[in-house]
Structure 1
């Protein structure tokens, strides 16, 4: 099959960011399919740059985007990419299947156009429930805009041949509009060969200005409004006189400058903002930390999240502390690989950190449980196969229908 794959934020393992689409594309190519990804980038001077990346045909559209952008600047970037990607996608005459992965929800437009104008079926992948996320976060307030975006969401789901969601909560949001049988739940993926337990890189630790003997809590990934990092900084403030504990942040986003200001204002020497790193360096840093923290604001919609950092932390063999009272809470508690803490009670996080620091055997046991869960349930080889099976089921149904006709 010739597959056209729309993903505005496509990343390779050599770049900072989520690599789910890369691994899915590699799985599909391994099954004999041809995959063309249409994505956005600001690193090329040409308006459209086409290249081959590890066997994947990638079309980069010149379009700036970063996590520091405000909501309306993001929306403008989304709409520009929507228009440009639709225009390019419609030029293809031999497409058998489209895959469109959100966010943003506007990524569904090129998929819809190819279905309506060229009768090409599509799989829609839901990575966040839009527009409900920006609505609950207060970014979309206009009643008419809310009504329009929810109608658009419904149209995208109903026209999809299949919808893949990344968490049980997201799937619940989807089946309000379409039958359960047209959906699947394939969460984000652990990467056992990219994140794994090993000897600590003390040389890198020293280069980054970290204390070799401290108990390190890491949060890696986006530092956006949705992550509620200011609550974590309140925890760090409660521990500012305990020089045995350090908080390590990797990544960037809209809240990065505000977090830096707060750290300076509170004179927190126990918090290190290290910036963005490609996967290899991120893996090294995660490995020499002791506990992984997955933080989100205390909003119902954010409890449906399926964060990359959670699954990479499982693969790295780390105890995980989450503060969303959703399926991630159930996961760490049911599999005894971490703790849930109350977002609104920084002292609760202090208590769990001190407990793990003092009880090394429990810390190690939870880390072993995490690694086992990554290997046996969430590794990318398992989940990419599930995605590939959905694609080939659609392919077989399509050929069966053509044969009958």
Structure 2
């Protein structure tokens, strides 16, 4: 059981986090014998559950770090209370110290953990990946296309979390620039703390080419990708974004459409290496609008990007290959 909060103030989110920490203890107590426990952070406070589970089951835990929290929240200005910052930094270090191993999702996180004096031999690397069978090139879902009124549209699809760090305002400003092009349509699928603000911006600007769709189950998302002409991933400009690999990049490349990546750092380098998309600087809506039109008017380039992107993630970022590699890392550290 968790206290549900779609979005809200910091204290409400803490209540959401801690409700899971406490309710997870019931599941831990009922579970059988464990050899190894894996926990996901953030939320950082799941470390309390990890410590309890490790003690009850007499098993070590691996702390999978997908974001350097609270550091990222501080850089974005989301947490400013110095007492809270000091307390959470202490907790972070304590949970790291008690973990058997730490697993990082990006090279930036690996480097961040080393800066926090975590020994390299205690760090595993498990990047985001994609189920390349679920996410692949599909025929358009005509029923969904008709229900959304998207027949004949060049659909720009953003599918994923809508948080402050994603800087989706840039996409809305680009939509405003392209409002007189009746073929271009921006489709945002998902939820997050910034969605009410983004919807308010779209309403204030009276954008005729923007629609928001509620959060969808993972198995439904490929239906929306089937409607996409160009996939979109955006990030705001901030220091830690250099070590970010948005998870949406991988299904976007696997689904067989070109990707526009607005951002810097590791995510941008992956898109460049894949050959499956175009990388743009953050917070430049004019450049984004211009790039959308260039891709729209060059279907042969879009086809080339789509094929390269799909081939790249199948080879390098399918979950099967990533998990085999991760288990190999774990076995080598156990033998050393």
Matched, 1:78 2:20: no
2:138 is equivalent to residue 198 of structure 1:
yes
2:107 aligns with 168
Residues 255 and 310, structure 2, Cα contact 8 Å, conserved in 1: yes
* Equivalences for residues 34-113 of structure 1 within 5 A: 62-86=1-25, 88-89=27-28, 94-113=33-52
Residue 245 of structure 1, CA deviation = 0.8
Offset at residue 293 of structure 1 (A):
0.8
Give how far 1:328 is off. 0.8
The CA distance in 2 between the partners of 1:67 and 1:304, in whole Å, is 27
Report the equivalent of 1:241: 180
Q: Secondary structure at the match of 2:39?
A: strand
Give matches, 1:277-296, under 5 Å: 277-296=216-235
How far apart, in 2, do the equivalents of 1:191 and 1:166 lie?
16
Contact preservation (8 Å) 1:101, 1:127: yes
Alpha-carbon separation, structure 1, partners of 2:215 and 2:26? 33
Residue 286 of structure 1: CA displacement? Answer: 0.8
TM-aligned CA distance change 1:289 to 1:93, over 3 Å: closer
- 1:75, CA displacement in angstroms? 1.0
Once the two structures are TM-superposed, the CA of residue 358 in structure 1 deviates from its matched residue by: 1.5
SS of residue in 1 equivalent to 2:52? helix
Secondary structure class of the residue paired with 2:232: strand
Offset at residue 391 of structure 1 (A): 5.6
Cα distance in 1 for partners of 2:53, 2:144 equals 48
Deviates more, 1:237-246 or 1:110-119: 110-119
Report the counterpart of residue 360 of structure 1 in structure 2.
299
Per-residue CA shift, 1:267-286, capped at 9, x if unaligned? Answer: 21111212222233310111
| Contact 1:67–1:224 under 8 Å retained in 2 | no
SS across alignment from 1:191? coil
User: Is contact 1:195–1:283 with CA below 8 Å preserved after alignment?
Assistant: yes
Provide the residue aligned with 1:310 in structure 2: 249
* Shift in Å, 1:318: 2.1
**What residue is the counterpart of 2:127 in the other structure?**
187
CA RMSD of aligned residues (A): 2.2
Q: Distance between the aligned counterparts of 1:311 and 1:70, measured in 2?
A: 31
Contact 2:259 2:277 in 1 (8 A): yes
Residue 117 of structure 1 and its aligned partner are, at CA, apart by 6.6
TM-score after normalising by structure 1: 0.77
Q: Secondary structure at the match of 2:226?
A: helix
Matches of residues 218-229 of structure 1 in structure 2 within 5 Å? 218-229=157-168
Query: Aligned pair 1:139/2:78, yes or no?
Result: yes
Tell me, in whole angstroms, the C-alpha distance in 1 between the residues paired with 2:97 and 2:296.
Answer: 49
Gaps of 5+ in 1: 1-61, 401-405
Asked whether the 8 Å contact 1:163–1:183 carries over to 2, the reply is: yes
| Deviation (angstroms), 1:145 | 1.8
Kindly state the Cα deviation for residue 251 of structure 1 after the two structures are TM-superposed. Answer: 0.8
In 2: Cα distance, 1:305 partner to 1:64 partner: 28
Structure 2 contact 241–264 (Cα < 8 Å) conserved: no
Contact 1:294 1:320 in 2 (8 A): yes
SS in 2 for 1:288: coil
Aligned to 1:351: 290
| CA distances 1:110-161 after superposition (whole Å, capped 9, x unpaired) | 2223445764211110111111122122222122221221122122222222
- How far residue 300 of structure 1 moved from its aligned partner, in angstroms, is 1.6
Q: Distance in 2 between matches of 1:324 and 1:196?
A: 24
SS of the counterpart of 1:74?
helix
Unpaired runs of 5+ residues, structure 2, are none
Decide which of 236, 240, 248 is 1:297's aligned counterpart. Answer: 236
Question: What is the TM-score when the length of structure 2 is the normalising length?
Answer: 0.92
Partner of 1:207: 147
- Range with greater deviation from structure 2 (110-119 or 287-296): 110-119
Shift of residue 303, structure 1, vs aligned partner: 3.4
